[in-house]
Amino acid sequence: EVQLVESGGGLVQPGGSLRLSCEASGFTFRSYWMSWVRQAPGKGLEWVAHIKQAGSEEYYVDSVKGRFTISRDNAKNSLSLQMDSLRAEDTAVYYCARVGVVHCYYIDVWGKGTTVTVSS
Amino acid sequence: DIQMTQSPSSLSASVGDRVTITCRASQRISTFVNWFQQKPGKAPKLVIYGASSLQSGVPSRFSGSGSGTDFTLTISSLQPEDFATYYCQQTYNIPWTFGQGTKVEIK
């Protein structure tokens, strides 16, 4: 069964750091782009970042550039999101996601999400 | 950034109704559009990719169309399990962006 399981969420003060992890199973992890998508409470979806198969290229939404770092360990089938200088507006459920490609890029597998709350 | 504007933001419909949700991109994006269904407290689920391709396992009552700037998601005969929020997304340019969502409620 194809599965993504996130961990690492929690409560953190503004300006603090948090590292999210995602364990992948059931597919050849190294063959796929991987992404993080977030959803603030009661709001819509926001793409945060993605990383290509070898980890050589990363892309970010402007609001997290310079603060968040996406990385992967293909030997361990794991994806990470290092979040620094956290702000209240980063409060959200963070989803780990697999990116497929046929004619266009699309997110075809989602984890259940991990909740990040930034508050004093 | 490419803006994705969905309409309506919400709709009420009955079981068996035909439902259409539209999404307009702020620039031409070929067919780089995906549609997701999300139920409360759950992760999104891919329904349509590449504007018109049905994701494996998704019922055939769902269909997508469009190219360029205008796209539609149609549910031909609404079922009880289809009541949810639907999002369009473009993956033509970074940053990938989503529409604001359309909540489909029971009439």
Q: Closest to B50 (Cβ–Cβ): which among A44, A60, A104?
A: A104
Q: How many angstroms separate the CA atoms of A45 and B78, rounded?
A: 24
CB contacts, 8 Å: B21 with chain A:
none
Task: Look up residue A49 and give its amino acid.
Answer: A
CB contacts, 8 Å: A50 with chain B:
96
Confidence band of B48 (pLDDT split at 50, 70, 90): very high
**B46, A113: Cβ pair inside 8 Å?**
no
**Over residues B52-81, mean pLDDT:** 97
- What are the pLDDT digits (tens) for B58-71? 999 999 999 999 99
Confidence band of B44 (pLDDT split at 50, 70, 90): very high
- What are the pLDDT digits (tens) for A57-81? 999 999 999 999 999 999 999 999 9
Return the closest-CA partner of residue B68 out of B35, B96, B27, B21. B27
Residues 6+ apart with CB under 8 A from B79: B15, B59, B61
Q: Does B31 touch chain A (CB under 8 A)?
A: yes
**A44, B99: Cβ pair inside 8 Å?**
yes
Q: How many angstroms separate the CA atoms of B44 and A13, rounded?
A: 28
Question: For position A103, what pLDDT does the model report?
Answer: 80
Q: Closest to A102 (Cβ–Cβ): which among B33, B42, B50?
A: B50
SS (H, E, C) chain A: CCEEEEECCEEECCCCCEEEEEEEECCCHHHCEEEEEEECCCCCEEEEEEECCCCCCEEECHHHCCCEEEEEECCCCEEEEEECCCCHHHCEEEEEEEEEEECEEEEEEECCCEEEEECC
